[in-house]
């Protein structure tokens, strides 16, 4: 079974994919409706040690169809999802969403 991870940030970067998964992920552009991006300050030192910026974007549910986030639906394995879980900051959790294309995908959001 295929899993998809919707990225609107750092996981779209080729270098991040190669470092984290050991390969460039297959994916396609998609949209997440009913959400908007909001800046958040990251305090997780392990995440920051990877060279990521202290200010990142996270998603906020608005339930408004006019709010949307453009990103990439990345095809991943279960093992790669677990690696992504370890990569993301401590205060982020993985949730399931439905993208505009109808694809169900995982996405990370600050809690």
**Does position 93 have pLDDT exceeding 60, yes or no?**
yes
pLDDT the model gives residue 43: 66
Are 89 and 47 contacting, i.e. CB atoms less than 8 angstroms apart? yes
Q: Which residue has the tokens 């993208």?
A: 99
**Does position 48 have pLDDT exceeding 60, yes or no?**
no
Element (H, E) at 7: strand 3-7
Place 86 in a pLDDT band, splitting at 50, 70 and 90: confident
> CATH number for the domain including 49?
3.10.490.10
Number of domains in the chain: 1
Q: What is the pTM of this model?
A: 0.82
pLDDT the model gives residue 110: 77
Q: What Rg, from alpha-carbon coordinates, does the chain have?
A: 13
- C-alpha distances in angstroms, 80 versus 5, 85, 110? 10, 9, 20
Q: State which residues form the domain around 74.
A: 3-110
Cα separation, 97 vs 32, whole angstroms: 8
Q: Where are the alpha helices (DSSP H) in the chain?
A: 14-21, 45-49, 78-87
């Amino acid at each position: 079974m295929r899993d998809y991870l919707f990225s609107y940030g750092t996981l779209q970067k080729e270098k991040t994919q190669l470092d984290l998964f050991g390969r460039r992920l297959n994916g396609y552009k998609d949209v997440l409706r009913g959400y908007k991006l909001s800046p958040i300050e990251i305090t997780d030192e392990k995440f920051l040690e990877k060279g990521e910026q202290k200010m990142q974007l996270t998603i906020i549910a608005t339930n408004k169809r006019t709010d949307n986030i453009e990103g990439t639906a990345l095809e991943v394995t279960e093992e790669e999802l677990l690696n992504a879980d370890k990569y993301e900051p401590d205060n982020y959790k993985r949730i399931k969403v439905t993208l505009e294309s109808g694809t169900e995908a995982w996405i990370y959001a600050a809690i």
